[in-house]
Each structure stands twice: as structure tokens, then as C-alpha cells.
Amino acid sequence: MVRPSPSGLLIASCSNDHSVKVWDLNKKDCKTDLREHDNVVECIEWAPNETSAENIHKAAGLDPKTKSGPFLVSGSRDKLIKFWDVTSGLCLFTLIGHDNWVRQIRFHPKGRYLLTSSDDKTLRTWHIENRRNHKTLNAHDHFVPSIDIHRTCGHCATGSVDTTIKIWDCR
């Protein structure tokens, strides 16, 4: 998977070699190589706005006055979700709770929650500031490799290997 940063200056990629790399588009080289997952990294997502960055600061115990970020989140076959400070290259904290591969990550538009899907057939919402699972939905009868959320109306869609798509209210 490849994701451009909100600023458009960086691109993140994840890989079978258990890494997440952040590429500087101006210099055309690897800025950061993030390696704390124990298995294939399936998905990545940039923190999209100031509200999400503020909640990550609080969750990580960072002083909001310090220079940090941009922030990136990764999900892996090791069942973990990691929050990264791209500038320092440090893993800030890890969310634990999925029972199988983490396949997709999306931030709720208001920046307070993270949504994840997994091969454990669930859709989970995580309260970022508290670093806890907020809600778990047994979403499908099979793996859930795909989620996305509408940026204004708060509806989330999940796609599953069971050949169904479901729409969820995530307001």
C-alpha cells in the first residue's frame, strides 16, 4: 500500500519486509524506515488533520508545544496497530485487540477515533486519546479487507471476502 501525506510532500509505503518507509518527494529518497512490526505490514494511514494530531499528542503524552509529526498509523499481520511520529521515526504507542491480520485503517473525520478492519471479521473503533477499543462490531461472516468512511456524513462502508458490502453509521 502507498499513501501520500496530507501535505503532499511525503509518501508512505508498507511492505512484506515488515517495514513502513516514508519517502521525501523533493529529495526522492527514503526519509524514514519504520521497523517495529513482527510481520507483513498490510496498511497505513496518515493522521489527516489537527484534531487527530492533537489526540495522538495526548495519547502519547507529548507536549503539544514540541515539534512532532506528521503522524502515521500502520496495521500488520502481527495483529497490531502502531502510531508513528515520522519526524523522529519513533513508535509512539501500539493498539492491541484484533485477533487476526489488520487489513485497513481509517481516521474518523472528526479525528477522535480510528477505524480498523481485520481478518477476524470485525470493524473496530478505537478512542485515540485513551488508546482503547471503543466498539467492536462483528461486521461480516468472513475477512474484512476493506473499509472507508465518508468525510462529511459519517457513514462507513466495509467490504468482505463474503462478497457483501455493509454501510455503518459512525457519527
Provide the residue-wise pLDDT of the chain in tens; the chain has 171 residues: 999 999 999 999 999 999 999 999 999 999 999 999 999 999 999 999 889 999 999 999 998 778 788 999 999 999 999 999 999 999 999 999 999 999 999 999 989 999 999 999 999 999 999 999 999 989 889 999 999 999 888 799 999 999 999 999 877
Tally of domains in the chain: 1
Domain CATH number, residue 51: 2.130.10.10
Q: Is 158 within a domain?
A: no
Task: Dig out the grid coordinates for 167 from the structure.
Answer: 454501510
Three-state helix/strand/coil letters over 15-30: CCCCCEEEEECCCCEE
- Mean pLDDT taken over the chain: 93
Written as nine digits, the cell of 84 is: 508513528
pLDDT, residue 2, reads 96
Hey, how many other C-beta atoms are within 10 angstroms of the C-beta on 50?
Answer: 10
Confidence (pLDDT) at 20 = 97
Task: At 154, list the grid cell.
Answer: 459519517
User: Distance (Å, rounded) from C-alpha 64 to C-alpha 10?
Assistant: 22
Give domain status of residue 165, yes or no.
no
Query: Does residue 148 fall inside a structural domain?
Result: no
Q: Which residues contact 140 (CB under 8 A, 6 or more apart)?
A: 121, 158, 160, 161, 162, 164, 166
Full domain range(s) for residue 122: 2-138
List phi, psi (to 5°) of 120: -85, 10
Query: Does the residue 37 lie in any domain?
Result: yes
CA distances from 34 to 21, 67, 72, 123 (A): 6, 19, 10, 26
- Is 160 inside a domain boundary? no
* Phi, psi torsion values for 134, nearest 5 degrees: -85, -45
Q: How far apart are CA 42 and CA 117, in angstroms?
A: 11
- Tens digit of each residue's pLDDT (9 = 90 or more) over 120-167: 999 999 999 999 999 998 988 999 999 999 988 879 999 999 999 999
**Strand (E) or helix (H) holding 105:** strand 102-107
Look at residue 134 and tell me if it is in a domain: yes
CA 47, CA 68: separation in Å to the nearest integer? 12
Give the model's pLDDT for residue 17: 95
Residue 171 lies in a domain: no
On whether residue 145 sits in a domain, the answer given is no
